[in-house]
Amino acid sequence: MTVPLTAYLVVGALLFAIGVYTVVAQRGAVMVLMGIEVILNAIGLNLIAFWRFVAPADYSAQIFTIFIITIGAVEMAVGLGIMMLLYRQRQSVQVDDYAELRG
Amino acid sequence: MSWLLVAVPTLPLATVPLSLAAGRWLPWRGGELTVGATALALAALAALHGVRETVRVTWFESAGFRLSVGLHLDPLTWFVATMVAGIALLVGIYALGYMADERNRARFFAQLAFFIGAMLTLVLSSSLILLFAAWEAVGIASYLLIGFHRREDGAHRAAIKAFLMTRIGDFGLLLGWLLVLARLRTTDIGALLAAVAEGRLPPGLASAVALLMFVGAIGKSAQLPLTAWLPDAMVAPTPVSALLHSATMVAAGVFLVLRLYPLFAVAPGALATVAWVGGITAVFSAIVALAEMDLKRVLAWSTSSHLGGMMLALGLGGPLAAALALTTHAIAKSALFTVAGAVDKHAGTRDLRRLGGLVRELPVQALVYLVGALSLSGIQLFSFDSSDDALISTALASGVLPTAAVLILVFLGGLYISRAGAAVFLGPQRPGVREAGGGRTAMMIAGTVALGIVTALGSLVVTRGPAALPFEGMSELRQVWRIVAALAGLAGLLLGGAHAWRHHASPLISAVPAVLERTLVIATAIPVRIAGAIAASLDSVEAWLDGAARRAADAVWTLATGVENLERRGFGAGGDRFAGALRIGGEWLRSVESGRIYLYTLGLFIWALGVDLAGVAMLGL
């Protein structure tokens, strides 16, 4: 029995929604970064699912997904580096404490 | 030599600004400048004796008109200019003493210098246009000097009266030279006289020009009907009366007729008018002088009378007699005026009824008065010749009536002058005379004595005159007529003196002259009233124009404020509102920048969602 495309898309949409919620609602900077990671994975799941069911002969989608995973890892490294610096400066990783751009 | 000629009128004029600017720091308050410049001018004239010269520059040339101004020296203008400068010098010296304790002397001397320069310009002018300008300038000088004591009673009114009444005559002069300009395309006097000599001027035009010029002469020389300003002008300081209103300025009218005599000679009608006006004025003024109670006013009426006599001589065809009478009279009359000034200073009044016996206190002045009175009555001290002889020989050539008129004039002249003199110098001293005690300063006596000596020697000048002047010599006068004339003068002098001895200053022939004078004053007042009414009506026109101008200005002002309001309320307010809107919009946008990351993120997602929906909608379409 094969799992239909719709199931993948539903799981991807759920993941995306959870990620968006996490990014918007969480106050901890680490949690926000994790939300972004979830969103990226939701996109990756969508890409793989569409590849598998729409164009299984074309491998470019797998390459896109590997790119996304790589970029996600790099982004996490940079983001966590910024977090470390901010924590050293202010002893806080709560995003609400960083409101200097407020107009 | 031309620079010397130009220097003659320029020197006195040049001292005017000097006196005004620096006069107050000089010991004589600018008087020394006036006297010095006049002395230099006189010296220049002496150096120019016998020179004929014309300095002329073209003022402008336009459409065939050629206006030139310049100075012209010939025996006649030299003669009169020398007389003017000489009298001005002596009267100037007299004025140094007379004005010694006046305030504003610098102003007085500046005005006097202005007059002397203008008068010399008038005499020497080579063109009618410059002559007219100088004519007006001496009128202004006269106005300023009459009104010098402007706080004194009547000075202000007398100044205005003199100015306006002479202006009436000036109008004729203006029309006269404009007519010449229109016809000959030039105002050069030499060109005019040349045209007359060549007969290029039609007789009618010549008469018209001559009559118009004579109207100018009537105003300036105080002939009837424009006589009344001269006696009123006696409120001026005495040096002014001695220089302007007896010797020089009032002689300008006679001089004008003399200068243009060839023109008058070809216009018999004009000459007859000159003779009649002059004769009537002479007799009229002499009669009025008989009853006058003010010493200076007696002399003023006498001046008018003698000027009338000169006009009579001119009208009868005796320019030489007129020129000689002009000189003799000018010198003698200014000498008399300087005496009158001394009397005024000394006794504090000029009223004949309150004066008397001054011979004991002012003997020198009394002597000079006697010399002047004799000279005026045709009796010269050092010579048998006199200007009256020329007058009588001219009159004899014309008939019985002029001869009788001249003899009567000589008689009347003696009568009023000796009446006034006797009332002032002889008899007991009157009570009530303020003992001012002035009038005996060295300068005043020097001026008076010098003028007296010149008067006494005047006959010598007169006998030398005919050779120099460009007019025909008079016919030799028979001895009997000389004696008759001298007797007429002497009889007048003795009778007048005797009358004053017995009745003091009471009028000689009852109240007739006073009535005559009042009639004249009223008769001249009427045209003055009319002129005043015209001026007043013009005033309302002027006021209307002024109002119109004001209204226009107001309209422009309103327009300007309207534009300003529009700018302020329209553009300005619009700009303000736009700026306000921008500010509010900026505030609103600022609130968007909350500094909360989740809101930014949310916005980003919403935006992405919006773009997705829009993309879907577009694909669907």
Give me the pLDDT at residue B482, please: 75
Interface test with B, best of A18, A20, A21, A23 (most B CBs within 10 A): A23
In A, minimum Cα distance to B600 occurs at A24
B602 contacts in chain A (CB < 8 Å): 24
CB contact under 8 A, A99 and B595: yes
**Over chain B, what is the mean pLDDT?**
84
Of B427, B318, B448, B293, whose CA–CA distance to B370 is shortest? B448
Handedness of CA B439, B445, B450, B454 (dihedral sign): positive
> Tens digits of per-residue pLDDT, B75-96?
888 888 988 999 999 899 888 8
Is A83 in CB contact (< 8 Å) with chain B? no
**Residues sharing a CB contact under 8 Å with residue B475, sequence separation 6 or more, in sequence order:** B393, B397
The minimal CB distance from A95 to the residues B590, B597, B602 is found for B597
Q: Which residue does chain A place closest to B606, by CA atoms? A: A20
Using CB atoms and an 8 Å cut-off, which of residues 7-26 of chain A contact chain B? 20, 23-25
Tokens 């935006």 correspond to what residue? B607
**Run of H or E including B96:** helix B75-98
Write the residue in A95, A98, A102 that is nearest to B594 by C-beta: A102
pLDDT tens for each residue of A60-100: 889 999 999 999 999 999 999 999 998 998 888 888 888 77
Confidence of residue B518 (pLDDT cuts 50, 70, 90): confident
0.90 surpassed by complex ipTM: no
pLDDT-derived band at B476 (thresholds 50, 70, 90) equals: low
Query: Is B588 an interface residue toward A (CB < 8 Å)?
Result: no
**Candidate from A24, A98, A100 with C-beta closest to B601:** A24
Find the helix or strand (DSSP H, E) in which B71 lies.
strand B65-73
Residue B528: the pLDDT is 66
Q: Give the tens place of pLDDT for each residue, B236-250.
A: 888 898 888 888 889
Q: Which of A23, A96, A103 sits opposite B601 (nearest CB)?
A: A23
Cβ distance B605 to A25 less than 8 Å, yes or no, reads no
Dihedral sign of CA atoms B39, B43, B48, B54 in order: negative
Whole-model pTM: value is: 0.70
| A98 neighbourhood in chain B, CB within 8 Å | 595, 597
Give me the amino acid identity at B328.
Answer: T
- The contacts found for A83-89 with CB under 8 angstroms, 24 or more apart, are A83/A29, A83/A30, A83/A33, A86/A29
Look at B596 and A99 and tell me if their CB atoms are within 8 Å: yes
Can you give the pLDDT at residue B385? 59
* Tokens coding B570: 């329209």
Residues of B in contact with A25 (CB under 8 A): 598
Task: Check if A95 contacts B (Cβ < 8 Å).
Answer: yes
Across the range B566-591, mean pLDDT stands at 88
Whether B240 contacts B185, CB under 8 Å: no
